[in-house]
């Protein structure tokens, strides 16, 4: 399944299920879905890459971006988790953490992704709102420790589907990522 197809399927499902990705969800009918164990096969890897590198930035950079950002910033994460749960399971969806941060000149929603954490997949991400503009910055898993001490790479995805490398890092924790974001965004 390619990224665009997966993205289109998720967005279509969200629109048909709840009237919109970020609408207030209706009360669930029936019993709670049971958690499933995530299998790490090539299809699951493709879905994770699509979520991290296509779906989240596509929503952020769309006309729904302000609502998406504000929902996550104010703690309304259930609609997003519901969409993620469908293809990736409840355990993965509930394992994603969101941390809103207000700084002078910008706001952040820091996202920490749960396991699995394989090569090039985001470990941390930041939705950045500076005035009326948005940025999507990631901390990606990198396993080239034989050639360097780096275990992650900081990158930025742009509204025109570009990807910029912002440098190798030797950490994977949220606090260090936030410190680097503060340096980058205060320039």
Which structural domain range is residue 114 located in?
Answer: 3-20+40-185
Domain assignment of residue 32, yes or no? no
Domain assignment of residue 28, yes or no? no
pLDDT tens-digit series, residues 49-103? 888 888 999 999 999 999 999 999 999 999 999 989 988 889 989 999 999 999 9
pLDDT tens-digit series, residues 25-47? 333 333 334 444 445 667 777 88
> For residue 3, is pLDDT > 90?
no
> For residue 184, is pLDDT > 90?
yes
Domain assignment of residue 94, yes or no? yes
Residue 143: predicted pLDDT:
67
Domain assignment of residue 103, yes or no? yes
Domain assignment of residue 119, yes or no? yes
Residue 118: predicted pLDDT:
59
Query: How many domains would you assign to the chain?
Result: 1
> For residue 181, is pLDDT > 90?
yes
Domain assignment of residue 173, yes or no? yes
Q: What is the mean pLDDT of residues 130-145?
A: 85
Domain assignment of residue 35, yes or no? no
Q: Which residues of 123-148 are buried (b: 16+ CB within 10 A; e: fewer)?
A: bbbbbbbeeeebbbbbbbbbeeeeee
> For residue 2, is pLDDT > 90?
no
Q: What are 73's two structure tokens?
A: 């910033």
Of residues 140 and 67, more confidently modeled: 67
Domain assignment of residue 27, yes or no? no
Of residues 80 and 149, more confidently modeled: 80
């Amino acid at each position: 399944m390619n990224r665009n197809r997966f993205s289109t399927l998720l967005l279509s499902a969200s629109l048909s299920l709840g009237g919109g990705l970020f609408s207030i969800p209706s009360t669930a009918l029936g019993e709670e879905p049971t958690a499933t164990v995530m299998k790490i096969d090539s299809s699951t890897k493709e879905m994770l890459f699509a979520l991290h590198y296509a779906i989240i930035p596509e929503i952020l950079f769309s006309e729904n971006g302000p609502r998406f950002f504000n929902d996550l910033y104010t703690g309304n994460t259930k609609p997003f988790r519901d969409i993620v749960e469908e293809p990736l399971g409840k355990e993965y969806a509930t394992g994603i953490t969101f941390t809103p941060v207000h700084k002078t000149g910008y706001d952040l929603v820091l996202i920490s992704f749960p396991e699995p954490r394989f090569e090039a997949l985001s470990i941390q991400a930041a939705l950045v709102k500076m005035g009326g503009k948005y940025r999507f910055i990631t901390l990606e898993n990198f396993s080239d420790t034989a050639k360097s001490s780096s275990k992650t790479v900081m990158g930025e995805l742009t509204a025109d589907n570009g990807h910029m490398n912002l440098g190798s890092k030797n950490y994977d924790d949220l606090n260090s990522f936030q410190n680097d974001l503060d340096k980058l965004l205060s320039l």
